[in-house]
Every structure is written in structure tokens, then in C-alpha cells.
Amino acid sequence: MPASRSVVIGVDSSTQSTKAAAVDADTGELLAVGRAPHTVTGTAGARESDPEEWWTALVAAVRSAVRDAGVATGSVTGIAVAGQQHGLVTLGPGGRPLRPALLWNDTRSAPQAAALAARLGGPEAWTDRTGSVPVASMTAAKWQWLREHEPERAAAATGVRLPHDHLTERLSGTAVTDPGDASGTCWYGTATGAYDREVLDLVGLDPALLPALAPTGATRVDTLAPAAAEALGLPRTVAVAAGTGDNMAAAVGLGLGGAGLLDHPVVSLGTSGTVFAATRARPAAPGLAGFAATDGGGTYLPLGCTLNCTLAVDRFASLLGLDREDAAPGGGGGVVVLPYLDGERTPDLPHAAGLVTGLRHGTDPRTVLGAAYEGAVFTVLRALDELLAACGLDPAAPDVRDRPLRLIGGGARGRFWTDTVRRLSGRPLVVPAAGELVALGAAALAAGAVTGSDPVALATAWGTGAGEVLPALPRDGETWDRIAGVLTAATPTLLS
């Protein structure tokens, strides 16, 4: 290995684990990936994690990646964190967490979200100002929940951070965030590119508790702080990028942004199901999160999110005593499953439970599992149509329907997930070969912090978004209409 080789580290700190990718900054070659798990606790809508465990996992994953890559520690030049979005981290003395973080999929703040959404002129005013209407996942709703349920902790907070902000601060000693992840709080104005003081006043949050806003996720904010360098076993000269949220980093890894692909939709099948696209159109749709992109320059990343995706389908498989790939070919037949086991975000049904209808004495359990796949995919693709409209596109237009979907996430590796997306969408798919797109996007941010280059252009040159192209299948409109009919009939009577 050349002694002059520059290696950057991209960290994906997700809900369930941390992954750290060691990447050749010049070629984009993935040299090694280190991993460490997280613990999520909570019942009855609560979902929490200890941020100290995130830091421990980051250290373990980075050390593992550098060791397995076989590179000298002196060749590491940059690091960036992409974190799960929306989580609320409250800091006390010494910058340490006052309590476990409230995660994005903690739905206890649904009443606070509804109350906030009715303020400031209602949902349209929120989308005009912040790009998003408050829902249970948004950080502003979680802060309001904390103020109402744990006022002593809210009053004691000396800092309020998102998960990636907290880890970047541990790395660099600098309290900083980026426009992409900040736009998931509902207190950042996508119209102004600054914190919205009226929203902060509404939720009683002192702006002095928030991190500074960097221009992009690839902005160099500092080098490693002494304690972080020692913990990681890396030189203090390693550049630390501002970093971003996981969805924004995935977009960078796919080459989506001002210097790459615009208005090309992505479907991500993971713990949550998400749809997003980089666009120049500033989105203002109540059913979507109107995020900013992390590459700056007037690029946005509208996103639709469903809470119930791969984990919900796996739960149905477990209840039925089946493996996840045991679903009946062709799907659910006459069975419809709305797998809203954790409530739902898009559609906004935070208190919903799962619904199964169409069962007969002769129904095969494999058919029910197939229907669970269909229900999850339907919900994601329904959000996709909203997304395309927010980008100023007609979802039914032939040129839009022929535009390939980029399918990513753990579900993209499952045959039945892929087949169901193809059947219900009627669209061609691109399944990127790279399996760690969030970490690779973060690595591109790190390389941008080192070189000053545009991270989307870097990822495009690396080719991290390239993959297998699957041709379109005829769209299964009958199944689509059946699921849509059940959702309409069950809302709100059975799903509220």
C-alpha cells in the first residue's frame, strides 16, 4: 500500500448499530468496515438509547475499521459522522447526556406534535417556514414532550443536540450541525437557512443551547480533540467534517445532489421505509419532511418515511413461524395487511396498530406473509407518489414512471422485497452494489473536509451508487387498489 495513501472514515451511527467505513479518499475503494451494536429500550411507544453507548460503539467500530484495513493510522486524514435523524440528546455539565436520547421512532410525543402543528398558522405555515409539519418523530415535538413530562431535566439542559451533532462534538470539541440534519428538527427554517426564532420561542428553547450551523456537511469544523484522538488511536491532525443525518449521507453516497443526480427517486427499505430525492424545488407538502440537502447550494431532500418496514414484516414472519423469504409467490392474494405495528408516520397515524383482513379457513400462512410485504411496500410507494409531486413531477407521466428507482437498505438484498417493489411500482430498479451507502456518503463528506471538494461530485467519481439494473414488471394495479381501499375504509375508525 502506498505510504501517501489518504484514508477517510465514514461513520454510520444508526438506530441499531454503528458502522465505520475506511475508504481510499482518491478512488473510493472500501477498505474495511468496523461494526458495534447499540441497545434500544422502551415499551408502549418509548424508544430510547444511551448516547454514551453510541460513542463507545463509534470508537470500537473506527478502531476495527482502521485495523482491518491494514493502514497506518497516520494515513487517516478525515472523519465524518452520519447519524439517525431527529433524536433528542440533552446535555448537562461537561457535555454529557442528562438522560437517554429520545429516538426518531419514539411516538410518545404525538400529542405534543399535534398541538404544535395547530400553532403558528397551522400545517401550511409550518411547511412554508420549516419544510415539515410537526409529527411525533420530529425533534421539536420530543423537546416539548420533555418539557411537559420531565421539566427538571429540560430546565437543566446546557445543550440540545441531534445524535450526529453529539458525536461530532465528541470528536472535535466543536458544537456544530449541518443544514440537512438540522432541517429535521422543525426549528430550522429551510426558507431562511437559519434557526426559526419564533418556533424556538414557541417551544421554550434558548438558541444558545443549539449547535452552530455549518454551510454543508462537508465543512471542516476542526481536527480531532485530544481525548477523541487518544480514544480512536488516530493523529490529532485528522479533519472532522460537520457531518449530517443518515438519509442525507445516503443521498451523497448515491451521487444525488447539485453536482450529481436531481429528481431521481430513492426507496430505502430498512428499520423504516423511506423515499427521497435531491431536487432544486423547495418542497412544501404536509405528508413529507421537506429537508434541506447536506451539499448546500439550494438543494433540498424531500423525504417520506414509514415507521413499519423490514422489522414489521420480520415480526409477521415470526408470528407465523416462517422465515422472511417464505412468503407465497405472487403476494397476498385476497389478504390485506397494514403492518402498522409501531403506529405510522406516512400516513400520519401515530396510534395505529396492525390490521389484517381477508382471512379464510384455507388461507396459507405464507399468503399472509406475502400480504405483509405488500402492505409495507404499498405504504412506501404511496409516499413516493407524494414525493414526486413535491419535486414538481407528475408520478403518472411516462418519463417519470420510466425513471429507475434506486433501491437501498437491508430489504434491497431480499428477493421478496425486490420482487414486491417491482410488482407494485411497475418501475425499473437500480440496486447499488455498495452495501454501506450511509457510511460511504459520510466518507465523501470527510474527503470533502480534507480536500475542499464537493462531496456529491466525489461520490459520483467513486461510483458508489452504481449497481444492477432490473427491468420493470407490469404493475399490479389490482393489489394496489385492494390495499388502498382497506386503508381508506379503516381510516380513521380502526387506525386512529
Q: Which residue has the cell 405510522?
A: 344
Cell 419564533 locates to: 198
**pLDDT confidence of 222, banded at 50, 70, 90?**
very high
Continuous segment of H or E residues that includes residue 480:
helix 477-490
147 pLDDT tier (thresholds 50, 70, 90): very high
Evaluate whether 102 touches 48 at the Cβ level (below 8 Å): yes
Please tell me whether residue 359 adopts helix, strand or coil conformation: coil
Cβ(266)–Cβ(252) below 8 Å: no
* Res 496 pLDDT > 90: no
Cα–Cα–Cα angle for 386, 389, 390, nearest 5°? 85
- 186 with 140: CB under 8 angstroms? yes
- 2 has a pLDDT exceeding 60: no
Amino acid at 229: A
- Residues 256-279 have a mean pLDDT of 93
**Residue percentage of the chain with pLDDT more than 90:** 87
Give SS3 for 448: helix
Asked if residue 155 lies in contact with residue 86, where contact means CB atoms within 8 angstroms, the answer is no
pLDDT value at 372 more than 90 = yes
pTM: 0.89
Would the CA dihedral through 396, 278, 479, 349 be positive or negative?
Answer: negative
Give the DSSP letter of residue 256: B
Mean pLDDT of 199-224: 98
Among 166, 159, 4, 22, CA closest to 90 = 159
User: Distance between CA atoms of 7 and 26, rounded to whole angstroms?
Assistant: 8
> For residues 381 and 289, is the Cβ–Cβ distance under 8 A?
no
Per-residue pLDDT, 75: 98
Residue with cell 419544510: 131
pLDDT of the residue at 4: 73
pLDDT band at 1 (very low <50, low <70, confident <90, very high): very low
Given a cut of 80, whether residue 172 has pLDDT beyond it is yes
CA nearest 341: which of 311, 370, 303? 311
Which residues fall within 8 angstroms of residue 404, CB to CB, at 6 or more apart? Answer: 264, 427, 428, 429, 430, 469
Average pLDDT, the chain: 95
C-alpha cell at 455: 462531496
pLDDT, tens digit (0-9, with 9 covering 90-100), for 285-316: 888 899 999 998 899 999 998 989 999 999 99
C-alpha to C-alpha distance for 351 and 113, rounded to whole angstroms: 13
pLDDT band at 267 (very low <50, low <70, confident <90, very high): very high
pLDDT at position 350 is 82
- Euclidean distance between CA atoms 117 and 137, whole angstroms: 13
- Per residue in 435-459, pLDDT (tens digit) is 899 999 999 999 999 999 999 999 9
Instruction: Note the pLDDT of residue 217.
Output: 98
Among all residues, which ones are annotated catalytic? 246
Query: Model confidence over 92-120: pLDDT tens digits?
Result: 988 999 999 999 989 999 999 999 999 99
- Residue 33: C-alpha distances to residues 13, 36, 246, 443 (Å): 13, 10, 17, 12
Reduced to 3 states (helix: H, G, I; strand: E, B; else coil), residue 97 is strand
Assign 390 a pLDDT band (cuts: 50, 70, 90): confident
**pLDDT number for residue 112:** 97
- Whether the CB-CB separation of 18 and 63 falls below 8 Å is answered with no
The pair phi, psi for residue 23, each rounded to 5°, is -130, 140
Neighbouring C-beta atoms of residue 303, cutoff 10 Å: 29
- Alpha helix segments (H runs only) across 6-138: 51-69, 110-117, 123-130
State what percent of residues in the chain have pLDDT above 70.
Answer: 99
Q: How confident is the model at residue 345 (pLDDT cuts 50, 70, 90)?
A: confident
